[in-house]
Structure 1
Amino acid sequence: MGRIVVSENVSIDGVVQDPTGEEGFDRGGWFGRIGEADRRAWAEVEHREAREAAALLLGRRSYTWFAARWPARTGEWADRLNGLPKYVVSTTLTEPGWAGTTVLTGDVVQAAAGLRCAVAGDVVVHASRLLVQTLLAHDLVDEVRLTVFPVVLGSGERLFGPTADRVPLHLLDVETVGDSLVRLTYRRERPGGG
């Protein structure tokens, strides 16, 4: 049985909105404000995660962003992402352009639960804020990895929205990434230790 792993870049106050500044959010572009050494260290962590992943799961908007960039890139990291099975949750996408993509239509919760059973290994979710919130609400997230960027934005869309109940997490690891970033890894705690 696989695991669903959420892997996100967030500000200190949990904002995930418009990290590259392409969406018009007045506080967007925060990802690009780190130094080159931090960017290289971040890329190494992301490349390692891609090597360990069995598949990617993305929401429609995030998929479109990734699919517009990665197929044209080269190198080991690009080769790995381009070669991974990719699943995109969408009611409108009919012909995905990124090789190895399967469109998941219908009930998101059922489709994600099916992936956990069908994929041996980690199904990594990048970006996809609304998808992450849905997965958390239905207890389908097994691990959360947050790379925290050294900025407080004060407003913007946050990764974690209102929940019907608490979502207990257990800290597994704290990793310094470069000089300014921190990667926090949490396991979802479930009754009975599962």
Structure 2
Amino acid sequence: MGQVVISTNATLDGVVEDPDGKEGFALGGWFAENGGADLDAWFEVATAEALHAEALLLGRRSDEWFGRRWTTRSTELANRLNSLPKYVVSSRSEQPVWTNATVVSGNVVDEVSKLKQTVAGEILVYASAQLARGLLKHGLVDELRLVVFPVVLGAGRRLFDQTSARTPLRLVKSETIGENLAFLTYRPEVTRDH
């Protein structure tokens, strides 16, 4: 049975918007600016995570974001991400941008529940805040991994903006990546059946 793992980078105040600074957000670019020398260690952790995964689950905008940036790269991480099966949640009928992708439409809760039954192993959710909130709300998240960058932006889209349900989590692991990045792993306290 598959496990849905939300894996994302965020600022200390939870902002996930425009990490590379190419989306026009005035405070964007925080990933490289505040990752600095720790980014080599971050890439090692991200590569190990990707090598362990069996699939990616993304929202439409995240598919576009990654597809435009990763298909032309040839690092070990890029090669793994590009080759993984991808499931893109979208209400639109257009084709996904990233390689090896299938559109998931209809009732997201039902479709992700089915996906968990068919994929053996980790299904990573990258950079898809709206999707992540919905999955967490419906008890479909098995683990949440956050890499926290040492900066407070004070504005921007946050991972858990406007959540509609309280979700208790349990910290199962905390470590440091490099010298300044916190890597936190949480699991939901209560698993709901769907």
Tell me the distance in 2 between the aligned counterparts of 1:28 and 1:164.
27
Per-residue CA deviations over 1:141-189 (Å, capped at 9, x if unaligned) read 1100000000011111110123333211111111100111010001111
Tell me the distance in 2 between the aligned counterparts of 1:80 and 1:34.
25
**TM-score, length-scaled by structure 1:** 0.93
**TM-score, length-scaled by structure 2:** 0.93
1:129 paired to 2:129 = yes
How many equivalent residue pairs?
192
CA contact (8 A) 2:3 2:123 kept: yes
Tell me the distance in 1 between the aligned counterparts of 2:26 and 2:78.
30
Give the equivalent residue in structure 2 for 1:81.
81
Give the equivalent residue in structure 1 for 2:149.
149
The amino acid that maps onto 2:19 is P
Give the equivalent residue in structure 2 for 1:44.
44
- Structure-2 change in CA distance of 1:191 and 1:140 (3 Å): closer
Give the equivalent residue in structure 1 for 2:163.
163
**What residue ranges of structure 1 are gaps of 5+ in the alignment?**
none
Give the equivalent residue in structure 2 for 1:66.
66
Deviates more, 1:120-129 or 1:27-36: 27-36
RMSD, aligned α-carbons: 1.6
CA contact (8 A) 2:64 2:98 kept: no
- Structure-2 change in CA distance of 1:191 and 1:56 (3 Å): closer
* Cα offset, 1:106, TM superposition: 1.3
- Identical aligned residues as a percent: 54
The amino acid that maps onto 1:10 is A
Give the equivalent residue in structure 2 for 1:172.
172
The amino acid that maps onto 2:90 is S
Tell me the distance in 2 between the aligned counterparts of 1:129 and 1:191.
20
Q: What stretches of structure 1 move > 4 A for 4+ residues in a row?
A: none
- Structure-2 change in CA distance of 1:95 and 1:188 (3 Å): same
* Cα offset, 1:116, TM superposition: 1.1
Give the equivalent residue in structure 1 for 2:19.
19
* Cα offset, 1:36, TM superposition: 4.1
Tell me the distance in 2 between the aligned counterparts of 1:55 and 1:75.
18
